[in-house]
Structure 1
Amino acid sequence: MTLRDFQTTVLAHLSDVHLPPPSPLPSWRHFLNKRALSVVSWKRHRMHRHLPALTKAIETDMARHAPDLILNTGDLTNFGLAREFDAAASWLATMPAPCLVVPGNHDAMVSAPWETHAGQWGPWMEETDESHFPYCHVRDNIAVIGVNSAIPTPPFMACGRVGKAQRERLAAVLDATRHLCRIVMIHHPPRTGLVKWRKSLLDQRGVAETIARHGAALVLHGHSHDATLSTIRNTSIPLLGVASASLSSSRPWRQSGWNRIAVSRREEGWDIDLTTRQYTLDEGWRCTRRRNWVIRDEQH
């Protein structure tokens, strides 16, 4: 065992930034679909709750903790407009560390050309196209596996789906990286009860069974806007949610925040140290969760 094997890699997990949309909004022709309802929701409610000042505070705090890698589990946009993807790409380029991202349901609000929309995030998704998820990024002793659950859905729905082909590729990637600390990123949580049915992962059982069968150290998700900690069903694999990075809320577990995850190699496996940090404009920063796990190496 070398000193490099015992080094600590610090990860920052955030999600659901919902960056401000372009102003003025483009022509009404872009909104003759589900986006019209989203614009109404934005103007009535969401623009008053998703605040750029909160996102900026999280960026600053993450930088202070000097992460080696930033993991963003989707919903950078509000309406899935091409101009929003372009603005989000510019924002990703300003992150205080290398960043990886997976799309969320707002990023797939309607069917759109990959190249002019989510494809603009190629540098932060291992240049993966829409038919070749999951991608795998290896850093030190960690394999970050990005799963795409974002699909266009009818009005009033925000469901996700991974699909059989992607689940099969996920199984292969998990098997090929058994010697590494495997961290799965996905927008929709692969477990029931964390979001309402209309927002659920439609094939969550298949996704959860794939992860349970082939193994992982940790699964990260967004979408719920809640700083939750559960497990992949019938396993001890931690399933970690995070509050929206821009949301102002009166409910403590929904107040803007991020997860600091420190991963260290140990003789018996992987040591994972979690700190959840949350912020309000009135009260500032607080630490709302500290947890530590040792994930046994499957080769032992």
Structure 2
Amino acid sequence: MFRLAHISDPHLGPLPNPTLTQLATKRIFGYVNWRRNRKGILTSSTLDDLIEDLNTQAPDHLAVTGDLVNLALPLEITNAKRWLDSLGDPQNVSAIPGNHDAYVPRSRLRAEKSWRPFMSSDDKASQTASFPYLRIRNNIALIGVNSAQATLPLMATGYFKKAQAKALSDILDTCADRKLFRVVMIHHPPCRNATHWHKRLIGASRFRKVIKNHGAELVLHGHTHKATKMAIPGPNCQVPVVCVPSASQGLGGKNPAARFNMFEIEGSQGNWHCELIERGYSQTTSGITEINRQTLNIPNA
């Protein structure tokens, strides 16, 4: 059995004090939003407690699907690298960027350079991050896709373009030939009507076409801060698409409180079994507890 944990959207705080020059960009809108809406809801103490509980569950690997920071300030990116280091060895932690990590032009490249040990293929042939990347752990293929790109103010769209689609298709085929359980990680949800228009994934239909033609066993994403379980078509049956709430979301907000997902994966090609265990803060009980447990319908064609 391979135990894969999934967290997303920690939006690490506290937010450093930005300079006036740094605010003379799209960042001014995010700064106001943080001060008004997020400062007291997304908290470090909530995140710390969640990670402590996650560590007691002893996963074999941890997937982090983006939005590590808020405004992609240089100090935020540096602090996020320290946080990633605290989660574990890069061999056991895989990350991808989110739209907040690419908040303004060039910030995504700065983040990718800093966080490269956590978002690079096993061969590490390149000194820069390249997407999609592929990591293989036991009989599990972890495939990181990048949907993050700097956008106009008040927009949080993601992008999945032709070059990544071609590369992802090739990786999925190679991993299928090797009889691996293929986990695709992307920040933005690839399902229809999964989020608001200004937060959507541009190229989602292209992503769905890749999965329909080449298959996958599981797709993980973040971005919406929701606990959703959807599906998109694969070659012969539906592929599960699972989102997890923000890892720093406190109680009392409009979104579900912080949690992580644990996927217990076993079997082999044609006979996969995957149990999903959701742990986090419940609205009805104090502390972190098991919220839900279910068996996912994994493609076994």
2:149 to 148, 151, 155: 151
1:51 matched to 2:37: no
Preserved CA contact (<8 Å) 2:211 2:233:
no
Cα deviation per residue 1:247-268 (whole Å; 9 max; x = unaligned)? 1243686211010111112474
2:82 — aligned with what?
90
8 Å Cα contact 1:54/1:280 also seen in 2? no
CA distance in 2, matches of 1:148, 1:30: 25
**Could you tell me whether the CA contact under 8 Å between 1:270 and 1:294 is conserved in 2?**
no
* Mapped partners of 1:251, 1:54: distance in 2: 13
Q: Which deviates further from its counterpart, 257-266 or 138-147?
A: 257-266
Match of 2:115 among 96, 116, 121: 121
Is 2:194 the partner of 1:191? no
C-alpha contact 2:149 2:158 (8 A) present in aligned 1: yes
Q: 1:161 aligns with which of 143, 159, 180?
A: 159
Name the structure 1 match of 2:25.
33
Whether contact under 8 Å (1:73, 1:185) holds in the other structure is yes
Distance 1:114 1:286, change over 3 A: closer
Give the share of equivalent positions with the same residue, in percent.
35
| Of 183-192 and 277-286, the range deviating more from structure 2 | 277-286
Indicate the residue corresponding to 1:105 in structure 2.
99
TM-score by length of 1: 0.90
Q: From 272, 291, 298, give the equivalent of 1:288.
A: 291
Counterpart CA distance in 2 for 1:135 and 1:194 is 25
Q: Which runs of 4 or more aligned residues in structure 1 lie more than 6 Å from their structure 2 counterparts after TM superposition?
A: 128-131
Q: Please give the secondary structure, in 2, of the residue aligned with 1:278.
A: strand
Residue equivalent to 2:3: 10
Rounded Cα–Cα distance in structure 2 between residues aligned with 1:151 and 1:215 = 26
How far apart in 2 are the matches of 1:35 and 1:252? 23
CA distance in 2 between counterparts of 1:277 and 1:130 reads 34
Structure 1 gaps, min length 5 = 1-7
Are the equivalent residues in 1 in contact too, given 2:102–2:108 (CA < 8 A)?
no
Equivalent residue letter for 1:9: F
C-alpha distance in 1 between matches for 2:152 and 2:199 = 11
In the TM superposition, what is the alpha-carbon distance from 1:221 to its structure 2 partner? 0.2
2: CA distance, partners of 1:221 / 1:265: 24
CA apart distance, 1:38: 0.5
CA shift at 1:232, angstroms? Answer: 1.3
- Structure 2 residue aligned with 1:133, among 109, 131, 134? 131
Pick one of 60, 63, 66 that aligns with 2:55: 63
Which one of the candidate residues 61, 66, 83 is aligned to 1:74? 66
Q: Which position in structure 2 is the counterpart of 1:219? A: 219
Q: Which runs of 5+ in 2 are unaligned?
A: none
Total equivalences in the alignment: 290
The alignment partner of 2:130 has SS state of coil
CA distance in 1, matches of 2:254, 2:278: 12
Find the aligned partners of 2:291 and 2:10 in 1 and give their Cα distance: 20
The whole-number CA distance in structure 2 between the counterparts of 1:131 and 1:86 is 16
Determine the structure 2 residue equivalent to 1:3: none
Q: Distance in 2 between matches of 1:275 and 1:252?
A: 23
When the two chains are superposed, the root-mean-square deviation of aligned CA atoms in Å is 2.1
Q: What amino acid maps onto 2:278 in structure 1?
A: T
Query: Once structures 1 and 2 are overlaid, which stretch shifts more, 245-254 or 135-144?
Result: 245-254
Which residue of the partner structure matches residue 245 of structure 1?
Answer: 247
Which of the residues 268, 279, 297 maps onto 1:277? 279
Q: Which moved more, 1:183-192 or 1:248-257?
A: 248-257
Q: 1:208 and 1:129, CA in 2 relative to 1: closer, same or farther beyond 3 A?
A: farther
Q: Give deviations 1:50-96, integer Å, cap 9, x for gaps.
A: 01111011111110000010000000000011211111111111115
Secondary structure (helix, strand or coil) at the match of 1:240 reads: strand
CA distance in 1, matches of 2:6, 2:150: 25
